Chains A and B, each alone.
Chain A
């Protein structure tokens, strides 16, 4: 029996260290800065163990029962810790307190166990042998865990599954102890029942860890996730909320089917309607095919070239049935050519000319994207535009990011394009801005297609009115070698969000 208990020291120590490493790894994944995270976790864990050891002196009766109860609790808390931390990360305002409480609780319980075992064993060994044996097994357990964790658990099990697995081991140790000390335990039935329940719970968690991970993600979105995929470029998530669909890229809303028509009608029709007999159209970005859907309404357009970086994105919007209903299968039209390439690189090589160019990139929130809003890029657009052609650029919110918006306008002007800024109200996004750029002076069309739901001659006229709080401001020109737009954008949006 003595050796059986020593083996449980080994098991406890292994489990304890795995929880500690899991918390450390998780904290570095989620919070970054692994050195800081790991050292804080280790510090908190070790001091909690000290606290547990200290508290063990207050346990004077029923040592075995307390040992088993503690073991079950470790199984529960430690086993579920990774799943809990993953699910609360996005939603919890105070993530760190939760993280440190969980790790403290595990530490205290593990710290409690070793002194308790020593006390159980105190009559079976001489003191010096006891200390030497218990600590040997304790440290071997630690070594075992520290090798197991990076080599086997993280690569093959993942964090959530590993922690459930070790929760199960803790519970099994409790069962074993229950058998060993049959006569000495009070309320053995209740403990066995609790253990059984835990075993069930943890095993379920172990089996369904995939789904748990998925669920933790759904908590971050309001609707139900109907599609989620990580591509080399981004995380694509499509959700459904009642009868509407939403597309998120890296967690940022791209459109909501409830009002996307406003965005896309406003993006396409003022510009395209103004071009006399448009034939060739270029769309940069816009892999969802919604802008193309609007463009295909013009029967005279023979060819639409869509350049989007992400092949997964265009594939999704060519195949997914629900999404095909939304974009009317636009990307599968024989008039449309889809090219998966980096827009800047493609434009540098391009020698074709177009009558209408839609520039629908994500907002300039980093230096990589900021390049697509520079004068150098706009010069390439200029080169690719027929003399009577029109360019339209989505250009963030003139209300939230006023300087950013006018920076796009001024940068387009700097390469010799004539600009016509306008804006529209989108319930999902707020006040949104666009800029039309052309070689000749642009005049807003006096009439539009009949079946549009948002753009009419009246709304179009209103779109060109800028109230004083969104009116023009002086800005620098955005260049590859200064990237002022990214700086404006970051400053303006961070002020708005906080």
Chain B
């Protein structure tokens, strides 16, 4: 595999090399490029994604030489969950002001970005977190601080704030013209299908309890706490679909469901997903609660954006947004971090003792000077899948025959992942309007080709595609739709293809380069909140150790 071919400016995470310079795409929102094309489906809305203007701005400059120089202890590059977690850890541990967080976009959050309108706040990507299990200590601590966990009962089980636990009904699936409760297909199942369900879920249950010869759980969150027993690691060598085939599980429904899960969590079809990652989805989560079952999740109208807002509160003075880091190099004992201020058009150099690199790992091949000069052999292992997400504001609620409107609503017959109701947690009896967050991992072809195709579509074309898909779930729904906002994620998620998680590349990429410590969730090979937070905290601890030693 190669790095997905970079693309001029438009996508959010893409870089372009021109001469000796690279062009970073700053984030932001571009409004609909072709408002006249909207005649047919007149819906308000906009398309968001990369700010290509910022990209051009950079191309026009032949040489970026820093005008100002500043000094700080630690620089954090990237203000997603990983970067914010690192910042909080530094605050907590050394209680001093000696660090800076540089974020490319105008807001922090990264893949946990959110927006809002008159009806409700809504997520642009990450929207929920399953209740944390044994190993996810940092998530539990964070939840305690934020009041998501309110205390512990007599048996030591965490008591969750019930406004944050996902309200019932949680999931429904449209299949054969009928909405059923839950996402595992039930309608029209033969005995053979049912037997395979039992076998498959039975196997997952056993993996959940399994421990390796090193005493660790076979599959854990964080990934690094999982057992290294080859008995389990061997699953990283094959694909999830291969694993199903090897076990004789050929039920169409079961395969649909497993494929859905892979696309949902990893943006990757099961043919491309490592079986280790695929099993991890089912076997790693073992959270318990006093007032919820083990499948429970916590969620908010703005998704994980709710956490992001609270995380950044204490560290606000240390955050610089619109700061596109384009060069990191050694300078004597120190590190120089150069960034371009996208708003002001200036270039700034920051000299620091250590760097926490919390931007996507593939960007390091362009920003860190030593990697730029010699592309490491592992670079090709990091591939990313594109996604399209949309927020749809409608009058009333989308109902349908069978199970009532749920939090997560999926159609068996659609290539999208359906929609999540952003204002599901709203306690009022009647909702006049609803915001639906629509998810679509673009997995039908090679990521690079899909990314290209996605960027060529106009907003109008996206709107038509979305409305058409929704109308198949809810006939005549387009009449109730008021606005459709679209977001394209060029490099949304790292793809856990076979070999990525337990192969040599990830181990190599995790190693610090001098005093640059890598924190992004990419370093786990799985794109989930828990991993991003874990990476951020661990990198901060490493960085603090070196700076303290200095």
- Is chain B a partner of chain A in the same complex? yes
A residues touching B (Cβ–Cβ < 8 Å)?
A: 32-35, 232-233, 309, 342-345, 348, 366-369, 371-372, 374-377, 479-483
Structural contact, A481 and B428, CB atoms closer than 8 A: no
Structural contact, B430 and A480, CB atoms closer than 8 A: no
Structural contact, B429 and A483, CB atoms closer than 8 A: no
Docked pose: A367 CA to B292 CA in angstroms: 18
Closest residue of A by beta carbon distance from B297? A481
Structural contact, A480 and B163, CB atoms closer than 8 A: yes
Closest residue of B by beta carbon distance from A344? B427
Structural contact, B428 and A376, CB atoms closer than 8 A: no
Docked pose: A367 CA to B167 CA in angstroms: 10
Docked pose: A481 CA to B292 CA in angstroms: 7
Structural contact, A376 and B404, CB atoms closer than 8 A: no
Q: How would residues 152 to 193 of chain B score, 1 for a CB under 8 Å from any chain A CB and 0 otherwise?
A: 000000000011011111100000000000000000000000
Task: Tell me if B291 counts as interface (CB < 8 A to partner A).
Answer: yes
Structural contact, A32 and B165, CB atoms closer than 8 A: no
Q: Which residues of B contact A371 (CB under 8 A)?
A: 167, 427, 429
Closest residue of A by beta carbon distance from B292? A481
**Other-chain residue from A309, A343, A480 in contact with B167 (beta carbon distance below 8 A):** A480
Closest residue of B by beta carbon distance from A366? B404
**Other-chain residue from A345, A348, A482 in contact with B168 (beta carbon distance below 8 A):** A482
Task: Tell me if B147 counts as interface (CB < 8 A to partner A).
Answer: no
> 10 closest pairs, A vs B, by CB?
A483-B168, A342-B428, A344-B427, A481-B165, A480-B167, A376-B162, A368-B429, A345-B428, A480-B162, A482-B168
Measured CB to CB, the closest approach of chain A to B164, in angstroms, equals 9
Structural contact, B162 and A367, CB atoms closer than 8 A: no
Structural contact, A367 and B169, CB atoms closer than 8 A: yes
Given A479-B291, A483-B169, decide whether A376 and B163 contact each other with a Cβ distance below 8 A: yes
For window 441-498 of B, CB contacts with A under 8 Å fall at 475-476
Closest residue of A by beta carbon distance from B399? A32
Closest residue of B by beta carbon distance from A374? B162
Q: Which residues of B contact A232 (CB under 8 A)?
A: 430, 432
Docked pose: A32 CA to B474 CA in angstroms: 12
Task: Tell me if B401 counts as interface (CB < 8 A to partner A).
Answer: yes
Task: Tell me if B210 counts as interface (CB < 8 A to partner A).
Answer: no
Most buried by A among B166, B169, B475: B169
Structural contact, A480 and B432, CB atoms closer than 8 A: no
B residues touching A (Cβ–Cβ < 8 Å)?
A: 162-163, 165-170, 291-293, 296, 401, 404, 427-430, 432, 475-476
Docked pose: A123 CA to B227 CA in angstroms: 93
Closest residue of A by beta carbon distance from B289? A481
Docked pose: A320 CA to B203 CA in angstroms: 66
Closest residue of B by beta carbon distance from A348? B427
Measured CB to CB, the closest approach of chain A to B47, in angstroms, equals 32
Docked pose: A138 CA to B428 CA in angstroms: 53
Measured CB to CB, the closest approach of chain A to B535, in angstroms, equals 30
Given A375-B162, A376-B163, decide whether A342 and B429 contact each other with a Cβ distance below 8 A: yes
Structural contact, B475 and A481, CB atoms closer than 8 A: no
Closest residue of A by beta carbon distance from B162? A376
Q: A344-B428, A480-B163 are known contacts; what are 5 more A-B pairs with Cβ within 8 Å? A: A35-B475, A368-B430, A479-B168, A480-B162, A480-B168
Docked pose: A482 CA to B160 CA in angstroms: 13
Structural contact, B432 and A367, CB atoms closer than 8 A: no
Of the A-B pairs whose beta carbons lie under 8 Å apart in the complex, a sample of 11, sorted by A's number, is A34-B475, A342-B429, A344-B427, A367-B169, A368-B430, A369-B429, A371-B167, A375-B162, A480-B165, A482-B292, A483-B169
Docked pose: A329 CA to B169 CA in angstroms: 41
Closest residue of A by beta carbon distance from B296? A481
Instruction: Count A-B contacts at CB 8 Å.
Output: 65
Measured CB to CB, the closest approach of chain B to A415, in angstroms, equals 11
Q: Which residues of B contact A479 (CB under 8 A)?
A: 162, 165, 168, 291-292
Docked pose: A146 CA to B544 CA in angstroms: 74
Q: Which residues of B contact A344 (CB under 8 A)?
A: 427-429
Structural contact, A481 and B162, CB atoms closer than 8 A: yes
Q: Which residues of B contact A34 (CB under 8 A)?
A: 475-476
Docked pose: A366 CA to B404 CA in angstroms: 9
Q: Which residues of A contact B291 (CB under 8 A)?
A: 479, 481
Docked pose: A483 CA to B292 CA in angstroms: 12
Docked pose: A480 CA to B163 CA in angstroms: 8
Most buried by B among A233, A369, A480: A480
Q: Which residues of B contact A33 (CB under 8 A)?
A: 401
Measured CB to CB, the closest approach of chain A to B51, in angstroms, equals 38
Structural contact, A481 and B167, CB atoms closer than 8 A: yes
Closest residue of A by beta carbon distance from B401? A33
Q: Which residues of A contact B169 (CB under 8 A)?
A: 367, 483
Structural contact, A481 and B432, CB atoms closer than 8 A: no
Docked pose: A161 CA to B476 CA in angstroms: 24
Q: Which residues of B contact A367 (CB under 8 A)?
A: 168-169, 404
Q: Which residues of B contact A376 (CB under 8 A)?
A: 162-163, 427
Q: Which residues of A contact B432 (CB under 8 A)?
A: 232
Docked pose: A343 CA to B430 CA in angstroms: 11
Measured CB to CB, the closest approach of chain A to B155, in angstroms, equals 16
Closest residue of A by beta carbon distance from B431? A368
Q: Which residues of A contact B163 (CB under 8 A)?
A: 376, 480
Docked pose: A404 CA to B167 CA in angstroms: 19
Measured CB to CB, the closest approach of chain A to B384, in angstroms, equals 34
**Other-chain residue from A309, A348, A375, A377 in contact with B430 (beta carbon distance below 8 A):** A309
Q: Which residues of A contact B168 (CB under 8 A)?
A: 367, 479-483
Docked pose: A32 CA to B400 CA in angstroms: 9
Most buried by A among B162, B168, B170, B296: B168
Measured CB to CB, the closest approach of chain B to A370, in angstroms, equals 8
Closest residue of A by beta carbon distance from B168? A483
Q: Which residues of B contact A342 (CB under 8 A)?
A: 427-430
Docked pose: A342 CA to B429 CA in angstroms: 7
Measured CB to CB, the closest approach of chain A to B214, in angstroms, equals 36
Docked pose: A262 CA to B163 CA in angstroms: 37
Measured CB to CB, the closest approach of chain A to B267, in angstroms, equals 27
Closest residue of A by beta carbon distance from B161? A376
Closest residue of A by beta carbon distance from B406? A367
Measured CB to CB, the closest approach of chain B to A406, in angstroms, equals 19
**Other-chain residue from B166, B404, B429 in contact with A372 (beta carbon distance below 8 A):** B429
Docked pose: A480 CA to B164 CA in angstroms: 10
Docked pose: A366 CA to B168 CA in angstroms: 11
Closest residue of B by beta carbon distance from A380? B427
Docked pose: A482 CA to B293 CA in angstroms: 9
Docked pose: A372 CA to B428 CA in angstroms: 9
Q: Which residues of B contact A309 (CB under 8 A)?
A: 429-430
Q: Which residues of A contact B401 (CB under 8 A)?
A: 32-33
Most buried by A among B291, B293, B429: B429
Measured CB to CB, the closest approach of chain A to B188, in angstroms, equals 17
Q: Which residues of A contact B170 (CB under 8 A)?
A: 481
Docked pose: A348 CA to B427 CA in angstroms: 10
Closest residue of B by beta carbon distance from A35? B475
Q: Which residues of B contact A483 (CB under 8 A)?
A: 167-169
Q: Which residues of B contact A375 (CB under 8 A)?
A: 162
Q: Which residues of B contact A345 (CB under 8 A)?
A: 427-428
Docked pose: A310 CA to B140 CA in angstroms: 42
Q: Which residues of A contact B428 (CB under 8 A)?
A: 342, 344-345
Q: Which residues of B contact A32 (CB under 8 A)?
A: 401
Docked pose: A345 CA to B430 CA in angstroms: 11
Measured CB to CB, the closest approach of chain A to B403, in angstroms, equals 10
Measured CB to CB, the closest approach of chain B to A32, in angstroms, equals 7
Q: Which residues of A contact B296 (CB under 8 A)?
A: 481
Closest residue of A by beta carbon distance from B397? A368
Closest residue of A by beta carbon distance from B432? A232
Q: Which residues of A contact B162 (CB under 8 A)?
A: 374-376, 479-481
Measured CB to CB, the closest approach of chain A to B157, in angstroms, equals 14
Q: Which residues of A contact B167 (CB under 8 A)?
A: 371, 480-481, 483
Docked pose: A375 CA to B167 CA in angstroms: 13
Measured CB to CB, the closest approach of chain B to A49, in angstroms, equals 26
Docked pose: A336 CA to B541 CA in angstroms: 61
Docked pose: A372 CA to B430 CA in angstroms: 12
Structural contact, A481 and B427, CB atoms closer than 8 A: no
Structural contact, A233 and B475, CB atoms closer than 8 A: no
Closest residue of B by beta carbon distance from A345? B428
